[in-house]
Structure 1
Amino acid sequence: MTTRRTSPARRRGAARAIVTALLCVLVALPARSGAAPEAAASAPDTTRDLYVGTFNIYGNIGHRGDAGDWIRDEADAVRDLTLGDTDRWLFIGLQEVCKAQGERFARELGLRSAFVDTGTKCADGQPYGNTLLFHSAARILPPALLPNPDGRGGERGIVCAVVRAAGRPHSAGPPVTACSTHLTVGGAKDGERRAQTGFIHDEWRPDGVHRLGAEGPVLLAGDLNAPPDAPELDVLYSGNGREASGLRESGPSYLRPTYDDGRKIDYLFSWGRGASGRWHCTGTFRTVNSDHSFYYSVLSTRTG
């Protein structure tokens, strides 16, 4: 028998994570069980209560490409949120990822991964970019680089897949497209970030024909490097766009800050055709392994 080491980050966050997980399980039960056991047994289970997460792992500057046991510790903390049941995760977006780090996260959680190489090298020579973790996918979309009008500061990218919930290879609802992205950083880069969000929401056609959201819900996980009231996020909040924290916030202090300095700059957005789900049980947990928190929510929907 192997005894796993418990990291300081996991010890500090374990109580809160377990309480959150228990509350979310209890919230989900009525939709699944109903008042009459015989009715619940015969009725099809069309409601999904699935976790979605995003995490800037600080993989190059903070870890210089290392894919060591700190990743195992983070994966254990993710498991704690769902009481060890990783089937409850629809997907997780990772940013600032050296390729081997994303692959180890996937192995530790029993998931698959897709990666976008933004053309930058990590300190140890690995490709650098964003990763998407998921159980299964109907297809992985061709990744893309985001607009970089001034040609400085390094390329940013997006990777997406049409994902399926664990144990549901043939979902009855419209296809759910999950994405992980990381926008340009910098106080003078708001115009560039606006071009990037406009590209993601309105301009990009991964299949050459349809923009994201035209055929089914889009779920975007990412470090957007802007607070909720920033104009570059207008397009993501527009139409039927919804963010996991709820109403758009204006100024500090933020309900759920995701960065060490107290800002909210990490997001979980939904929009597109059929994107009528409800975000709830939204939260964060801190870690010593990154300057960002792990940000997560439960999406209750009849799609996915």
Structure 2
Amino acid sequence: MRPAPYLWKKGRRPLPEQTPLRVATFNIHHGRGPDDRLDLGRVADVIRAGGAVVAGLQEVDRHWSPRSAFADQAAWLAADLGMNVVFCANLDLDPPAPGIPRRQYGTAVLSRFPIRDSGNTFLPGSPVGERRGLLRATIVVHGVPVQVCTTHLQDDDPAGRLRQARAVRALVTGRPGPVILTGDFNALPDAPEIRVLTRSLRDAWPGPGPGPTFPAAGSRIDYVFTSPDIEVMSAAVVPCDASDHLPVFVDLLLPEAGG
């Protein structure tokens, strides 16, 4: 993992029955950095250099518009990184002309492990915002089935975002086995939306330090949460110029199969 200005590390070795897993969450801003240059290769380089074997991505375009050159960004990243991928569209529009793929925008999960199944659940709507969803993928890590979820909550409606956070909590805590929840939650750590989630899940960034992930506002709004049976070993916010957000990488220890 590259050096980062915000880093937390527990510093003990895994037990024999625990399985290490490096996970990332990254709002890729459809491949445009703070310089407004479209370069999806920079996103791939960040994920590759960070060593993530599972990544939850937000603001992913699929044949969406000229802003991303109408690319299938999830498929491109998966091919470049040699990973499996599942993409789900929260916005799904008719193509600009017959015979052209539909215009889609949403979230994705990349995994070096096989993705056994997946699904997307739309979250309660906000009267002022776009449709949001929770993407879930089941991956099997050395015999351990893990539910990996990612989401992107409403940015400009705190009440709507709270409803969405409550829905996310109900969806992820109702599933068996280890759960990893990633995403851009558009809320600070002390916000009601985050407190709703941490009633059942653990924030993988325990500090010290604020660990801001949205440099323009100096705010931490991107998170990795885990179910209580997963141990967090380290967490880092990694500087990059690939997006207007910074990615979070965490090292986790999964429980043994059947544990």
TM-score over 0.5 (shorter chain): yes
- Structure-to-structure mapping, 1:57-206, within 5 angstroms: 57-59=28-30, 62=32, 70-82=39-51, 89-99=52-62, 100-120=72-92, 126-137=103-114, 139-150=116-127, 152-165=128-141, 168=142, 170-171=143-144, 175-186=145-156, 189-202=157-170, 204=171
Q: SS where residue 141 of structure 1 aligns?
A: strand
1:237 to 188, 192, 198: 198
The Cα of 1:78 is off from its aligned counterpart by 2.4
Q: Cα distance 1:57–1:122, how it changes in 2: closer, same or farther (>3 A)? A: farther
Residue by residue, what CA displacement relative to the aligned partner does 1:123-164 show, whole Å, maximum 9, x if unpaired? 9973100011112346323211111142x3211112111112
Q: SS where residue 56 of structure 2 aligns?
A: strand
Greater strand fraction, Structure 1 or Structure 2: 2
**Which structure is larger by alpha-carbon Rg, 1 or 2?**
1
Q: Tell me which of the two structures has the higher relative contact order, counting C-alpha pairs closer than 8 angstroms and 6 or more residues apart.
A: 2
Q: SS where residue 201 of structure 1 aligns?
A: helix
Matched AA of 1:255: P
Residue by residue, what CA displacement relative to the aligned partner does 1:45-84 show, whole Å, maximum 9, x if unpaired? 5321110100001107x48xx997x3233323322233xx
Q: SS where residue 195 of structure 2 aligns?
A: helix
Counterpart in the other structure of 2:184 = 223
Matched AA of 1:201: R
Alpha-carbon distance between aligned partners in 1 of 2:2 and 2:239, rounded to the nearest angstrom: 12
Q: Cα distance 1:106–1:231, how it changes in 2: closer, same or farther (>3 A)? A: same
Matched AA of 1:296: F
The Cα of 1:122 is off from its aligned counterpart by 11
Aligned length: 238
Counterpart in the other structure of 2:247 = 294
State TM-score, norm by structure 1: 0.69
The Cα of 1:283 is off from its aligned counterpart by 0.6
Q: SS where residue 163 of structure 2 aligns?
A: helix
Alpha-carbon distance between aligned partners in 1 of 2:191 and 2:92, rounded to the nearest angstrom: 27
Q: What are structure 2's unaligned runs of at least 5 residues? A: 63-71, 97-101
- Percent identity between matched residues is 29
Q: Cα distance 1:282–1:126, how it changes in 2: closer, same or farther (>3 A)? A: same
State TM-score, norm by structure 2: 0.80
Matched AA of 2:206: G
Alpha-carbon distance between aligned partners in 2 of 1:284 and 1:122, rounded to the nearest angstrom: 37
Q: What are structure 1's unaligned runs of at least 5 residues? A: 1-13, 33-44, 83-88, 205-210
Q: SS where residue 154 of structure 2 aligns?
A: coil
Query: Are the counterparts in 1 of residues 14 and 253 from structure 2 also a CA contact under 8 Å?
Result: no
Greater helix fraction, Structure 1 or Structure 2: 1
Query: Are the counterparts in 2 of residues 67 and 104 from structure 1 also a CA contact under 8 Å?
Result: no
1:264 to 191, 205, 220: 220
Counterpart in the other structure of 2:24 = 53
